[in-house]
Amino acid sequence: MRIAYLDCFSGISGDMLLAALVDAGADRDRIEGELRKLSLGDFRLEWKKVVKTGVSALKLNVIDENIPPVQPLKTIKVLGQHDHHHHRGYKEIVEMIEAADLAPRVTARALAIFEKIAVAEAKIHSVPVETVHFHEVGALDSIVDVVGIALGLEELGIDLIYSGHVPTGNGYVRCDHGLYPVPAPATMEMLIGIPLRSTAIQKELTTPTGAGVAAALVHEFGDLPSMTVESIGYGAGTRDLPDQPNVLRLLVGHL
């Protein structure tokens, strides 16, 4: 049985995991080809090697060709809030994924992650799940990350996913609704029942997408299982941490 172990000592986000999967051997051209089946408009994926506190890792950036370059806020909005941006609703995202003719396990895993995120946001904001909407820029990143992760797992033939205890970080993060404590409320909601790891780092280490992956896909949390490692991937985060590499290490092998 082929397994993956998420060594998330610096947290986990969608882009970190997708980059780690490609760094571990998943075919990025095939992943990008499958992502083109989604109705996402013009976008491209930028892959580059970076060094994080002495560790070489793969960094992924999702570039929306339809808008000027910005620093996107990966936030989730709720139907009824008024601004000048378009949104993608949870229902629309589900329909998009189901219509994309992806492999059954890819579809199931991607939908499972989005369900965890949408249910958590709905509970925190006290609204029905179907009214949860994703900010357009953040939604593009989230859809690419989530579906890309499902595709990467399938590319590597992963049957089960294991993970270390999850560090969330500390401090505060500015979301669309205001200044929130780390972990943000929806992130914390998804981490119920998941063993967390204490850290003094005053930054958000685990994002909502990362928490959704942990909640939806991880079979067991704990120390490295008895496994034969076949490949290792390093996915880089956006931030630079003072005393450790901001990377997700992915071990791929079999029991």
User: Does position 88 have pLDDT exceeding 60, yes or no?
Assistant: yes
User: Does position 76 have pLDDT exceeding 70, yes or no?
Assistant: no
State the pLDDT at residue 78. 46
User: Does position 84 have pLDDT exceeding 50, yes or no?
Assistant: no
Q: At 124, which amino acid appears? A: I
List all residues 6 or more positions away from 159 whose beta carbon is below 8 Å from its beta carbon.
1, 2, 3
Cβ-contact 107, 98 below 8 angstroms: yes
Selected residue with higher pLDDT from 170 and 86: 170
Average pLDDT of the chain is 91
The string of DSSP codes covering the chain is -EEEEEE-TT---HHHHHHHHHHTT--HHHHHHHHTTS---SEEEEEEEEEETTEEEEEEEEEETTS--------EEETT---SS-EEEHHHHHHHHHTT---HHHHHHHHHHHHHHHHHHHHHHTS-GGGEEEEHHHHHHHHHHHHHHHHHHHHTT--EEEEPPEE-B-SEEEETTEEEESSPHHHHHHTTTSPEE-----SB-S-HHHHHHHHHHEEEESSPPS-EEEEEEEEE-SS--SSS--EEEEEEEE-
State the pLDDT at residue 135. 66
Q: Which of 72-86, 164-178, 206-220 has the highest mean pLDDT?
A: 206-220
State the pLDDT at residue 242. 85
Q: Which of 217, 49, 39 is nearest to 139 (CA)?
A: 39
Strands 228-236 and 160-163: unpaired
List all residues 6 or more positions away from 9 whose beta carbon is below 8 Å from its beta carbon.
164, 167, 197, 244, 249
Q: Which of 156, 173, 153, 165 is nearest to 214 (CA)?
A: 165
State the pLDDT at residue 67. 65
Cβ-contact 250, 24 below 8 angstroms: yes
State the pLDDT at residue 68. 58
Which residues constitute the domain of residue 223?
A: 2-254
Task: Report the pLDDT averaged over residues 84-111.
Answer: 89
User: Does position 26 have pLDDT exceeding 90, yes or no?
Assistant: yes
Q: Which residues pair with 233 in a beta bridge?
A: 250
Cβ-contact 165, 33 below 8 angstroms: no
State the pLDDT at residue 69. 53
Tens-place pLDDT, residues 174-218: 877 788 899 999 999 999 999 999 999 999 999 999 999 999 999
State the pLDDT at residue 79. 43
State the pLDDT at residue 138. 62
pTM, entire model: 0.91
Phi-psi region of 163 (alpha: psi -120 to 50; beta: other; left: phi over 0): beta
State the pLDDT at residue 75. 43
Tens-place pLDDT, residues 114-146: 999 999 999 999 999 988 987 644 689 999 999
Query: In the chain, how many domains are there?
Result: 1
User: Does position 82 have pLDDT exceeding 60, yes or no?
Assistant: no
State the pLDDT at residue 85. 45
CB burial class (10 A; 0-12, 13-18, 19+) of residue 155? buried
Q: What are phi and psi of 132, to 5 degrees?
A: -75, 125
How remote is the C-alpha of 150 from its chain's centroid? 10
